[in-house]
Amino acid sequence: MSGSLQDEYIKKESLFGAQNYSPLSVVLERGEGAYLWDVDGNKYLDMVSAYSAVSHGHSHPELVNTIKEQAEKLSITSRAFYTEPFADFLESITKITGYENVLTMNTGAEAVETAIKAARRWGYFTKGIKENKAEIIVADGNFHGRTTTIVGFSSEDSYKDGFGPFSEGFVTAKFCWSGCSLEESIKSFKSKINKNTCAILVEPIQGEAGIRVPDKGWLKELRKICDSENILLILDEIQSGLGRTGKLFAYEHEDIFPDGLILGKALGGAMMPISAFLSSKEIMSHFNSGSHGSTFGGNPLASKVATKALELLYKDSLIENSKILGDYFISALKSIDNKIIKEVRGKGLWIGMELNKSKINAKDLCLMLLNEGLLCKETHKSVIRFAPPLMISKDQLDWAINKIIRVISSI
């Protein structure tokens, strides 16, 4: 949907902004709950949720009030001083998650970098790995962020092109997906282990790769490997965590507990950027004054909002809603009888619909859905991700399902 006003803003962004994104042609102005409106007043149902960041809905009244009240009192001091909001946030998140210590940053990528630092220091100072020899095993198809260190261990060439040289210390094993069975994947991880291995770092479900859900039991087997080999298991739940998959964390589907957990996105209630690395006192004890930090990390404003966002996960029954409506949504999409659909997969309200090769690719379908009032985004040309705010209602979801069926049936 494009008009003169929208065209004006699109031209400005194209003229003055770096072209590191390829947005759909809609200029959004405001949001409320599960809906967004463009500058021309057209209304859309949000099926992207800022890549899982908008779990509570847009402009949640309690979060808006929290940010107003705290902004009027104190926004930032830096960690050179103690603050009440940060202390309360630490207490809240440790009680909810069961982890002993937390190190807060701002973005997901920063939290991943923090996890890498923590794993390496543990490897050197606890496990006794020789200096500068520590290795971390990652999975192919991973997406953990955009820093040069992180893209350096990505298996996606486009993320790395022109950004080298990259950091050493990472080896890649096979994710349990698409032709790689659980047994083959575990064998691949085992084959990468040596005396310098300090951690395995994976996503429990690969989001950017197209909502790739590994076989049941995969995480449990990784947990066994790490226990037997004295290796840390670190999970990146920046997208999958905080209710997105129908449980507080995706790893709970496997009834395990990782040594380290990385959170971001929805932690800030779609209001403030805040991320965190959570672990044990033993692992975190290797951080000392001056060893790591962030000017904005743990600032009072973000801390206050994050504390409220955690509270609302339960008060608004977002985790339960994600489970119930996620199962319903997946079932409805799987029932669509059309040869263009190759597979529907996911957990909770985090769903990937993969298309068969045809003249219509995923971005084309997203544009068609845009014209029907649905905001969706493709990944890797062949998969559409559906990730609405976790507070979405069944009536809203039924409306979306009817639009999806209508568009696919028209092809």
Residue pLDDT, tens place only, 373-411:
999 999 988 999 999 999 999 999 999 999 999 999 998
* Whether 117 and 176 share a structural domain: yes
* Whether 184 and 68 share a structural domain: yes
Res. 360: pLDDT tops 60: yes
* Whether 352 and 254 share a structural domain: no
pLDDT score of 3: 58
Res. 2: pLDDT tops 70: no
pLDDT score of 215: 97
Residue of 265, 304, 323, 403 with catalytic role = 265
Find tokens 């209304």 and name the residue: 43
* Whether 322 and 311 share a structural domain: no
Q: Which residues contact 261 (CB under 8 A, 6 or more apart)?
A: 97, 99, 234, 235, 237, 241, 249, 251, 277, 278, 279
CATH of the domain at 21: 3.90.1150.10
Cα–Cα distances in angstroms (integers) from residue 383 to residues 207, 218, 347, in the given order: 11, 23, 15
* Whether 349 and 283 share a structural domain: no
Supply the mean pLDDT for the chain: 96
Of 296, 315, 334, the residue that ends a domain is 315
Residue of 236, 296, 316, 347 with catalytic role = 236
Higher pLDDT, 88 or 24: 88
Please tell me the distance from the alpha carbon of residue 314 to that of residue 194, in angstroms, as a whole number. 42
Lowest-confidence region among 2-11, 89-98, 156-165, 373-382: 2-11
Higher pLDDT, 4 or 19: 19
Catalytic-residue membership of 337: no
Residue pLDDT, tens place only, 311-352:
999 999 999 999 999 999 999 999 999 999 999 999 999 999
- Count of domains observed in the chain: 2
* Whether 110 and 179 share a structural domain: yes
Q: What confidence category does residue 247 fall into, taking pLDDT thresholds of 50, 70 and 90?
A: very high
Residue of 86, 143, 170, 189 with catalytic role = 143
Residue pLDDT, tens place only, 57-88:
999 999 999 999 999 999 999 999 999 999 99
* Whether 51 and 70 share a structural domain: no
CATH of the domain at 168: 3.40.640.10
* Whether 43 and 69 share a structural domain: no
Q: Domain span at residue 24? A: 4-56+317-409
Mean pLDDT within 130-148: 97
* Whether 310 and 321 share a structural domain: no
Q: Which residues contact 305 (CB under 8 A, 6 or more apart)?
A: 63, 66, 67, 70, 268, 269, 271, 272, 274
* Whether 392 and 246 share a structural domain: no
Res. 45: pLDDT tops 90: yes
Please tell me the distance from the alpha carbon of residue 381 to that of residue 316, in angstroms, as a whole number. 35
Catalytic-residue membership of 143: yes
* Whether 111 and 232 share a structural domain: yes
pLDDT score of 380: 86
Of 295, 315, 335, the residue that ends a domain is 315
Please tell me the distance from the alpha carbon of residue 286 to that of residue 339, in angstroms, as a whole number. 54
pTM of the full predicted structure? 0.97
* Whether 274 and 329 share a structural domain: no
Residue pLDDT, tens place only, 161-218:
999 999 999 999 999 998 899 999 999 999 999 999 999 999 999 999 999 999 999 9
Res. 245: pLDDT tops 90: yes
Of 285, 315, 345, the residue that ends a domain is 315
